[in-house]
A and B are shown apart, each in its own frame.
Chain A
Amino acid sequence: MCLAIPGKLIEIYEEHSLKMGKLDYAGTINSACLEYVPEIKIGQYAVIHAGFAINIIDEEEARKTYEVWEEMIEAAEKEGLDIFGMPLENE
């Protein structure tokens, strides 16, 4: 539940007055709320926690986090969930 995933911001948009973005997580595109990192720019990496960007990080750091991320994917898969905590059968 405390899993935080790095993603690269590829698009910024507004939805119901909230600042939102599309992020690329090593190939998977998903949206996240950007209200807590108002200064973020396209091309920057952010740490995403359950649909919210909570931190801007540099590219090197994002790459390094990838290894832990793989570990967490494994752990989530054991519980029948994907990296976003959604059941695998929905995939």
Chain B
Amino acid sequence: MKYLDEYRNPDIVKKMFEEIHAITTKPWVIMEICGGQTHSIMKNGIDQLLPDKIELVHGPGCPVCVTPLEQIDKALDIASRPDVIFTSFGDMLRVPGSSKDLFMVKSEGADVRIVYSTLDAVKIARENPDKKVVFFAVGFETTAPNNAMAVWQAHREGLTNFSILVSHVLVPPAMEALLSSPQNRVQGYLAAGHVCTIMGWEEYIPIAAKYKVPITVTGFEPMDIVEGILLTVHQLEKGTHKVENQYARLVKKEGNLPARDLINKIFQVSDRKWRGIGEIPLSGFSLRPEFENHDADKVFDLGEIKVDEPPECISGIILQGLKKPHECPAFGKKCTPQNPLGATMVSSEGACAAYYAYHRFEKTKSEE
């Protein structure tokens, strides 16, 4: 077993790997949902230390990767307007829209600002009453409380010049969509720890039961991931399908209740399109009608935005766990982190970028 010395608790990790090797009798496909976990798996060579029978496939848990191209084009349209200050987290600025990215629009003179917290965007709105201040609200359940608080605060203060461009997606409906697809290969899930910090893990119970898949709420440290895999393999080998919580030190069954309350007050569940995957019913958040004046989709007249995805990009198939990045003909050739064709190459949480960074250019034995 190579790399093992680099783990924080090499002895414990070694024991867990040995146990996984000892109990694995059949081939299993396990999906980690979160892009941060994908990154950590590649960096620490976790996939290479597993038995050949166990294949890890990489899920859609990278917010940058699944934000539809139309949403990026909308952001670019809004940001280019002279009366707008467009705010975003840094990782959205390099994501290519149909023809440009936010950095280019900024260099052309648009007022695009990177903020650390959504409350910073609210502050900019407070200080610039003559401008329309828009925040690009991208992300999973983890960022939803922050965006909910920004809207609530703007609403309370009567800051009618503040709005958010919402592109919020939810993890459990996507997990279910993948499981119900006829091509599904996933037999067990590692659920994303930080999403569960907010939402808890009750929602996963019916999914595990209906599709008979074990789901393990898993943290981000290499040790967490190895333990998550061990718990999942145990269940697969025994034929059970419970929800287990590997990340109990951070995740409570009910999640963070004050955060969930405000999310419910501000957002409603709605259909959302996922880049590369398509529309999934009830898989995202939109602002409730009461907060329409803070909804950039309603505040700005955006017309119909039509987009064309680069035809060679197979990121949608990769995000469903059906193929690996190195199976894309463009991977590492036409498509690199410097010149990304698809969003999974842009973000360091994206599977293509992780494979590129850690030189995974060939198939492993379990994929052959």
Contacts and interface: CB of A to CB of B under 8 A. Distances in A.
A68 B157 contact: no
A52 B258 CA distance: 12
Contact of B192 (A2, A55, A57, A64): A2
B270 interface: no
Given A1-B139, A36-B256, A49 B91 contact: no
A62 B216 CA distance: 22
Interface string A26-40: 000010110111100
Contacts of A36: 145, 256, 258-259
A50 B35 CA distance: 17
Given A1-B349, A3-B36, A57-B250, A50 B197 contact: no
Interface stretch (B18-26, B77-85, B112-120, B234-242): B112-120
A51 B198 CA distance: 15
Given A18-B119, A47-B197, A52-B117, A1 B258 contact: no
A8 B258 CA distance: 21
A84 B91 CA distance: 11
Interface in B96-155: 114, 116-120, 126, 138-140, 142-143, 145-146, 149, 153
Given A1-B63, A36-B145, A51 B114 contact: no
* Majority secondary structure of chain A interface residues (helix, strand, loop or mixed): mixed
Interface string B187-225: 000001011011000000000000000000000110000
B40 A2 contact: no
A54 B119 contact: no
Size class of the B contact interface (CB-based, 8 Å): 35 or more
Nearest to A84: B116
Nearest to B140: A2
Contacts, number: 119
Contacts of B259: 36, 54
* Majority secondary structure of chain B interface residues (helix, strand, loop or mixed): helix
A9 interface: no
A57 B193 CA distance: 15
A19 B250 CA distance: 22
B64 interface: yes
A14 to B, nearest CB: 13
A57 B119 CA distance: 23
A86 B348 contact: no
Nearest to B89: A85
B348 A75 contact: yes
A27 to B, nearest CB: 17
Nearest to A4: B194
B90 A32 contact: no
A52 B89 contact: no
A55 B1 CA distance: 36
Contact of B348 (A4, A35, A54, A78): A78
Given A52-B117, A71-B43, A4 B145 contact: no
Contacts of A55: 197, 250, 256
B265 to A, nearest CB: 13
A1 B89 contact: yes
A91 interface: no
A78 B251 CA distance: 29
Given A2-B35, A64-B8, 5 more contacts: A16-B153, A33-B149, A35-B262, A54-B145, A57-B250
7 contacts: A1-B142, A2-B36, A2-B194, A18-B153, A47-B197, A54-B259, A85-B89
Q: Which 8 A-B pairs have the closest CB atoms?
A: A51-B117, A36-B259, A85-B90, A84-B116, A81-B90, A75-B348, A2-B194, A68-B221
